[in-house]
Structure 1
Amino acid sequence: MTLTVRPTGGAAEVLCLSGTLDTLAAAVFGQELETHVRHAHGAGRRLIVDLTDLRLVSAAALHVLDLATHHLAASPVLLVIGVPHVRELLLLSPPAGLRVFPTLATALASLSALDRPATAVPAGDGGVLPDRTGTGEADAPAGEREELRREVLGLRARNRTAPLIGTAQGILRERYDLPDADAAFAALRDASQHLNVPLRILASAVVTAPRPRADGPWFPGRRHTPMPVPTLLGVHDPGAADRRTLLGSAVDAVMTYTGADAAEIHLTDPALDNALVLEGHAGLDAAYCDQAAQLTGPPAPAAQARARGEPVLVLDIALDPGLAASSVGRAALAAGSRALHAVPALTDDGTCMGVITVHHEQPGSWMTTAQHTALTTLAADLAAWRSWYRRTVVLDALEHLHTHARTSQRTTPVADSRPDEGAALPARSRAPDARRLRPPEG
């Protein structure tokens, strides 16, 4: 990979790359990109990254681009990329801090427009014309494009969960004197599988729960209560419904009762300052789900509903300047959605446990009074279940983890002294511990 800076004599700085941007070169590229981002913004210039002369762009490089620019939604980096299927991938799942162009000339020509407030461009049918530069070009096989797309989305998903799981591993190592991160991961995995609690949910609980006492149960005096019976949620046997089944039933019920074209359910995560995490959906494509995977604040309607504690209705995404210009708004329009209705899932004391959002392909309000009532009831069912799940199933998983980690801690032999220098260690001491389990790849 060769990197050069091309002067433009104006409001932009052009960073040109040539050669091969493979996985090994991606780390170096990331460091250089962060430096040039700081330099360009400090000088009040727009940064343009020109990848036209690259023969290969790896998924790791696209991941680096996303990480280095995700905070620049208000003043995005302009990316010139000549590989059609990679450009199409970025247009289908647009990173918040990037704007994609097919040539350097079109990127330079857009500078004045980008510095003006964003406006929607009406189409002939009253819709919005999305920027589809490069879409439909078939220079690369469809299978290759789809494989690269899945790889990028997978990298983003792992990047969202890995830090939380790593933090939980560190806590467990310190708390139970575990030998390494592999042993901590094995403890998490065992409790996750035993109680059927997703690993990310359990890691979040480890991070946010109070530190247990040195001896005895983690949560003494805790009473088990049965799962609340939902009013409208389509679960015939509440006691047998696991988390995935219940959330799937919730999405189905939302679609049935509201007549929506698509629906999504987000739940709050205490370890992420109660950010909304996408837990279930129907009728939405992978590109939209990637953008809506974790919502922390406006302009996303779900985040607004959580913050306000009341429903939020967007009659037309295209006519909402802030939402239409955001990555999640653009992804919603690309998925065919025009109207959104987000309802918070509130407990009796007003705590928000999540948000249900329904989509409609036509602008305007479409639900009847009965449908509004059904959606509110489903949100209350969801909140009641989530509150119960946190204080019952998740705490059971923490107790299981605590009990087994303490047992392992007591049974792990500890040497009283180091062997004399030069003395031969017993054969058992030299052998690796075969019981230590490594986390699965990916």
Structure 2
Amino acid sequence: MAQNGQVRAGAEVVRLAGGVSVWVVRAQGAALTAHHPALRTAAAPASGCRVVVLDAGALETVTAAGLRELAACAAELSRSGCRLTAAGVPAAPGRLRDAMAGVRTAPSLAAAIADASHEASRAATPCGPADRTTARRGDGGSGERPAGGEPALVAADGFGDDLPAPVRRRIDDLLAQVREARARAETHPLVAQAQGILQERYRLRDGQAAFELMRASSQRHNVRLRVLASAVITAAGPRALDQPWFPGRGRLPAPPLGFAGGLDPRHANAAEVLTATLDRALDIAGTGMGNLQLLDPASGDLRIEQHRGLNDQFVTFFDRVGRHGTSCALAAEQSHRVSVTDVATDPVFTAEARDTILRAGSRGCHSTPLLSERGALVGMVSSHHERPVAPLTAAQSAALDGMAEQAGHWLDWHRRTVVLDTLEDLHDRAVRPS
């Protein structure tokens, strides 16, 4: 997280009602200079964004070179069909005002967003390329709103809202059982595949011996069996059985977890870090609803690991999320946060996904990617809100970005250190049984 005065830029995609995407870039630091990273970030908006807002409200001043570069950025974006608005730019001396002649301005980020929303509502179609609305499962779900404006609030189980409370509770219980059974069914083939690999590699007597091998290492290093099985499947095997699995591997120091209270990053387990990450994200966003997903290396899907305040229908439907049809899928693709101001009108969701979110009581959401130091996707944390949302404040954005950066780096470290330690332990047990 940036300290006061540190020159830095944060960016996110804010989706307005109807699906118009705005590339919001927040400039941090004392002054807007020609080399401020916010200008480079603004000049390269995320795919689908034809409106760019550079929020300079946190800056103290601008330089002449900074204003000239801002004007050049606006002109370049205009040539590519995009419009830039500078929000909250500190007042420039009279002799520099000419440099701002070609730059659209707004007094604040909220004013710039309201202006973009007003223009979008007058347009016949949203600007920029249409969002892909392929369904999460197969190609069902058009992403279209039903006639009459608001999407129909049909429960994900196909029943309406008029069921008696005892019947609804029974349905919810059954859905929870279905989700647990499906999780077991999805985990079993993964574990079975890993068992087969280990049985063949180490010439074990049967699959049960391979399972016991994984279970022992899983328990010793406090790594979930599903995570270990996925690592067995995706990691390149050892070159020779009489050598370490990862020869010459240096142990990396654990990244800090400043947001996670008293957790020691060297000894914390993944469940503790995931809990702290989701709790902190919801605290920053000011809501009690949300979920945290991790990337499954074996399938490439995002899988729910933690959730708060969401019903069983939501958790069952979004247990696994692919590449299209949701805000978190779009955030994963863009590698930037996506804020959906109004779920009910945004075509980023398939019809089924939208109805499930609305049924859970969410009308707005913020989906923030958790990235490794190399920028690879590790997971996603999303907050959900009972009403349509405005863009995050600068303070919220900075706090959430700082937390997500630390969490993403730690989770990547855990995979590249603790999980590999667990594989090494498994390898040692297999080649040197006690």
**Do they superpose with TM above 0.5?**
yes
Over 3 Å counting, the alpha-carbon distance change for 1:398 and 1:304 in structure 2 is: same
**Structure-to-structure mapping, 1:410-429, within 5 angstroms:** none
Separation in 1 of the partners of 2:262 and 2:148?
44
**Letter paired with 2:246:** F
Over 3 Å counting, the alpha-carbon distance change for 1:357 and 1:146 in structure 2 is: closer
> What residue in structure 2 maps to residue 237 of structure 1?
264
> What residue in structure 2 maps to residue 336 of structure 1?
361
2:404 match: secondary structure: helix
Separation in 2 of the partners of 1:117 and 1:264?
22
Separation in 2 of the partners of 1:139 and 1:384?
44
Match of 1:173 among 199, 202, 220: 199
Deviations along 1:182-201, whole A, 9 cap, x unmatched? 11111111111111000010
How far is 1:159 from its partner? 2.4
Match of 2:140 among 36, 52, 74: 74
Bigger Rg, which one: 1
Percent sequence identity is: 35
Deviations along 1:6-40, whole A, 9 cap, x unmatched? xxxxxxxxxxxxxxxxxxxxxxxxxxxxxxxxxxx
How far is 1:234 from its partner? 3.0
> What residue in structure 2 maps to residue 364 of structure 1?
389
How far is 1:148 from its partner? 2.6
Separation in 1 of the partners of 2:225 and 2:213?
11
> What residue in structure 1 maps to residue 178 of structure 2?
152
Once the two structures are overlaid, the 10-residue window that deviates more, 130-139 or 243-252, is 130-139
> What residue in structure 1 maps to residue 251 of structure 2?
224
2:255 match: secondary structure: coil
Separation in 1 of the partners of 2:169 and 2:383?
31
Say what the alpha-carbon RMSD is for the aligned residues.
Answer: 2.5
Confirm or deny: 8 A CA contact 1:206 1:398 kept in the other structure.
yes
2:295 match: secondary structure: strand
Separation in 2 of the partners of 1:182 and 1:136?
49
2:275 match: secondary structure: helix
Match of 1:252 among 261, 279, 299: 279
> What residue in structure 1 maps to residue 308 of structure 2?
282
Confirm or deny: 8 A CA contact 1:317 1:324 kept in the other structure.
no
> What residue in structure 2 maps to residue 389 of structure 1?
414
Confirm or deny: 8 A CA contact 1:266 1:354 kept in the other structure.
yes
How far is 1:153 from its partner? 1.6
**Structure-to-structure mapping, 1:301-312, within 5 angstroms:** 301-312=327-338
Match status 1:313 vs 2:379: no
Confirm or deny: 8 A CA contact 1:344 1:355 kept in the other structure.
yes
Q: Which has the higher contact order (CA 8 A, sep 6+)?
A: 2
How far is 1:146 from its partner? 4.6
Over 3 Å counting, the alpha-carbon distance change for 1:144 and 1:349 in structure 2 is: closer
Over 3 Å counting, the alpha-carbon distance change for 1:121 and 1:254 in structure 2 is: farther
TM-score by length of 2: 0.63
Over 3 Å counting, the alpha-carbon distance change for 1:347 and 1:70 in structure 2 is: closer
How far is 1:117 from its partner? 7.6
Separation in 1 of the partners of 2:289 and 2:394?
19
Unpaired segments of 5 or more residues in structure 2?
Answer: 1-134
Match of 1:193 among 214, 219, 235: 219
Over 3 Å counting, the alpha-carbon distance change for 1:305 and 1:206 in structure 2 is: same
1:321 match: secondary structure: coil
Separation in 2 of the partners of 1:134 and 1:338?
19
How far is 1:214 from its partner? 2.2
Over 3 Å counting, the alpha-carbon distance change for 1:144 and 1:369 in structure 2 is: closer
How far is 1:137 from its partner? 3.3
How far is 1:329 from its partner? 2.5
Confirm or deny: 8 A CA contact 2:154 2:355 kept in the other structure.
no
**Letter paired with 1:395:** L
> What residue in structure 2 maps to residue 294 of structure 1?
320
How far is 1:149 from its partner? 2.6
Separation in 1 of the partners of 2:143 and 2:310?
29
How far is 1:142 from its partner? 6.5
Separation in 1 of the partners of 2:234 and 2:321?
19
Deviations along 1:167-190, whole A, 9 cap, x unmatched? 111101111111222111111111
Deviations along 1:345-365, whole A, 9 cap, x unmatched? 223322111112111111132
How far is 1:230 from its partner? 2.0
Q: Which has the higher helix share?
A: 1
> What residue in structure 2 maps to residue 398 of structure 1?
423
Over 3 Å counting, the alpha-carbon distance change for 1:236 and 1:386 in structure 2 is: closer
Separation in 1 of the partners of 2:377 and 2:186?
22
Match of 1:131 among 132, 154, 162: 154
1:156 match: secondary structure: helix
> What residue in structure 2 maps to residue 350 of structure 1?
375
How far is 1:396 from its partner? 0.8
Over 3 Å counting, the alpha-carbon distance change for 1:259 and 1:244 in structure 2 is: same
Over 3 Å counting, the alpha-carbon distance change for 1:367 and 1:121 in structure 2 is: farther
Over 3 Å counting, the alpha-carbon distance change for 1:301 and 1:147 in structure 2 is: closer
> What residue in structure 1 maps to residue 349 of structure 2?
323
Over 3 Å counting, the alpha-carbon distance change for 1:169 and 1:147 in structure 2 is: same
Separation in 1 of the partners of 2:213 and 2:308?
33
**Letter paired with 1:382:** A
> What residue in structure 1 maps to residue 92 of structure 2?
none
Match status 1:162 vs 2:188: yes
Separation in 1 of the partners of 2:326 and 2:143?
19
Match of 2:399 among 364, 374, 378: 374
How far is 1:235 from its partner? 4.0
How far is 1:136 from its partner? 4.1
